[in-house]
Amino acid sequence: MFSPSLLGGDFSRAGEELAAIAAAGADYAHFDIMDGSFVPEITFGAKFIEDLRPLSDLVFDVHLMIENPERHVARFIEAGADLITVHAESTKHLWRVLSMIKESGKDAGVALNPGTPVSFIEPVLPIVDYVLVMTVNPGWGGQRFIPQMVDKIQELDSRRLEGGLSYIIGADGGVGRKNIRDLYQNGLDLAVMGTAFFSENDKASFLHELEETVQ
């Protein structure tokens, strides 16, 4: 499964970029929310998602790179998010914020920075729908994939099997042709892609090619 990130597209044409994501055959659209504090950049807020929501049936996958996400998740849910991912490092109340998302009937994800081990989120693994492994340091698109993160994906896959858990595993940052096969062989379910997706002219063929590669 693929979740192209609008961060790799042109925000002035966001509606068209969203349509291009759907036309290419992706199931998810990834929205990168940055607050200038948890990460240096600032992107956009809930209104951006709210305005795009009526244009698309894609699953809106909202990646919150913000401090204290418990203050903001309700607003993102109201705006139309289907899956909300918070960073394990961004809150003292990880269990609470994940529960807030679940209680609203939406899917809850937890993201790990490259320096954060899987053991840090072990207590919440039974209550999450999604674990997002950052394969770059969050904050910018177009960075180089950190190969050591493949081990983290493998560890999450093993824990899922051992614990009879059902979360899906995602990778975000520098994902593309060069690493997709290795990622899927180690347990990946959902590839987030910004630059790799939007730099292709024929986006449908690109996703089709990747699907063939990971069969």
Footprint of ligand DX5 (CB under 6 A):
5, 7-8, 30, 32, 63, 136, 138-143, 172-175, 192-196
Question: CA-to-CA distance for 49 and 86, rounded, in angstroms?
Answer: 16
173 binds, among Zn ion, ligand DX5, none (CB under 5 to 8 A by kind): ligand DX5
Q: Which two tokens stand for residue 116?
A: 């954060």
Q: Are 30 and 6 in contact (CB under 8 A)?
A: yes
Question: CA-to-CA distance for 157 and 98, rounded, in angstroms?
Answer: 20
Cα end-to-end distance, the chain, whole Å:
12
Q: Which of 35, 107, 172, 182 is catalytic?
A: 172
Q: Which of 10, 27, 32, 61 is catalytic?
A: 32
Strands 2-4 and 59-65: unpaired
194 binds, among ligand DX5, Zn ion, none (CB under 5 to 8 A by kind): ligand DX5
**17 in contact with Zn ion (CB under 5 A):** no
Closest distance between Zn ion and the C-beta of residue 172, in Å? 4
Residue 202 among the catalytic residues = no
Per this entry, what is the length of the chain?
Answer: 215
Instruction: CB nearer to ligand DX5: give 64 or 73.
Output: 64
Residue 27 among the catalytic residues = no
Query: Which residues belong to the active site?
Result: 32, 172
